Amino acid sequence: MKYAVIAVAGALSLFSITAVANETAGLSYDYVEVGYAKMDVDDLDELSFDGYAVKLSKQVSSNWYLTGLYASTSDDLSNSVSEDYRDIFQNGEYVGTSQLYTEGKLDAEFTRLELSAGYIQRLSAVTNLDYSINLGRLKYSTDFINLVEERFNGQVFSSSESAYSDSDSADILSANVQVRHLVTDKFEVNAGLGYERLHDEESDNNVVLKAGFNYTLTEKAILGASYRYVDEYADIAATLRYYF
């Protein structure tokens, strides 16, 4: 895995410009990052999870850094059906047919919390390779409400509502290798390869692929986007980063 990423770094270096001494500031590990997050899950095609992500990174020595990540994405799904239910009589005379109205609403949410420790290897003035170990928790929760009403001529004859909630979680263990490369003094591209294990009833082992870019707006403000693919789901993010 390490040699594959170094090969990627070598290919990226073909597109580099002449480096100046302070370009390494563009590859800083001291930042706070907030932004839009989207999560697509293979087994939940009818849901599209949108939300936010917050990340904090701090370099604690010349080669070591720590990060913390919290992300929350959610979506809701509703469906309603109205159908003929029974004949209505008044004073022995038929006056119409009531409708049975059924409505279901599902609210679903994923939350992700991760803490990481990483090591930085500087390949050149414009290219870094970093290795990280991540521990965290992924939680999935749902709330479902079901409403049943008998309706006739704008009136509700009877009504009942039921609700239930459920949740599940998995511990996360992952190891990742990432290359960060400055194409120009304002534009960074990055790519990563990793392994992720979710400790739940199935304890899945997955390969992680990641790609992204960062664009410098000001000396401190960075606009970024990333795509992270795991076998069962994918994460998309658009973020604003502040270097400190």
Residue 17: the pLDDT is: 32
Q: Report which of residues 170 and 8 the model is more confident about.
A: 170
The backbone torsions φ and ψ at residue 44, rounded to the nearest 5 degrees and listed phi first, read: -125, 60
Distance CA 51, CA 111 (A): 10
Indicate if the pLDDT at residue 137 is higher than 80.
Answer: yes
The backbone torsions φ and ψ at residue 224, rounded to the nearest 5 degrees and listed phi first, read: -140, 160
Q: Stretch 140-153: mean pLDDT, rounded?
A: 95
Q: What is the pLDDT of residues 150-173, one digit of tens each?
A: 999 989 999 999 999 999 999 999
Q: Which stretch of DSSP H or E encloses residue 3? A: helix 2-12
Indicate if the pLDDT at residue 7 is higher than 80.
Answer: no
Q: Mean pLDDT for the chain?
A: 88
Q: What is the pLDDT of residues 63-83, one digit of tens each?
A: 999 999 999 999 999 999 999
pLDDT category, 25, cuts 50, 70, 90?
low
- Residue 66's Cα: distance from chain center in Å? 20
Count, in order, helices (H) and strands (E) of the chain: 1, 10
Q: What is the pLDDT of residues 12-23, one digit of tens each?
A: 343 333 333 333
Q: What is the pLDDT of residues 219-234, one digit of tens each?
A: 899 999 999 999 889 9
Q: Return the CA Rg of the chain.
A: 26
Distance CA 94, CA 89 (A): 4
Indicate if the pLDDT at residue 6 is higher than 50.
Answer: no
Distance CA 75, CA 141 (A): 11
Q: Stretch 121-127: mean pLDDT, rounded?
A: 94
∠ CA(66), CA(38), CA(59), 5° rounding? 10
The label of the residue with tokens 């692929």 reads 209
pLDDT category, 46, cuts 50, 70, 90?
confident
Indicate if the pLDDT at residue 52 is higher than 90.
Answer: yes
∠ CA(229), CA(234), CA(238), 5° rounding? 100
pLDDT category, 238, cuts 50, 70, 90?
very high
Distance CA 4, CA 194 (A): 12
Residue 203: the pLDDT is: 66
Residue 120: the pLDDT is: 97
* Among the listed residues 140, 116, 110, 111, the one whose alpha carbon sits nearest the alpha carbon of residue 200: 140
Indicate if the pLDDT at residue 176 is higher than 80.
Answer: yes
% of the chain beyond a pLDDT of 90: 78
What is the token pair recorded at 184? 């120009």
Using H for helix, E for strand and C for coil, what is the string for 64-89? EEEEEEEEEEEEEEEEEEEEEEEEEE
pLDDT category, 201, cuts 50, 70, 90?
low
Residue 33: the pLDDT is: 97
Distance CA 158, CA 71 (A): 42
Spatial neighbors of 111 by CB under 8 A, at least 6 apart, are 70, 71, 72, 138, 139, 141
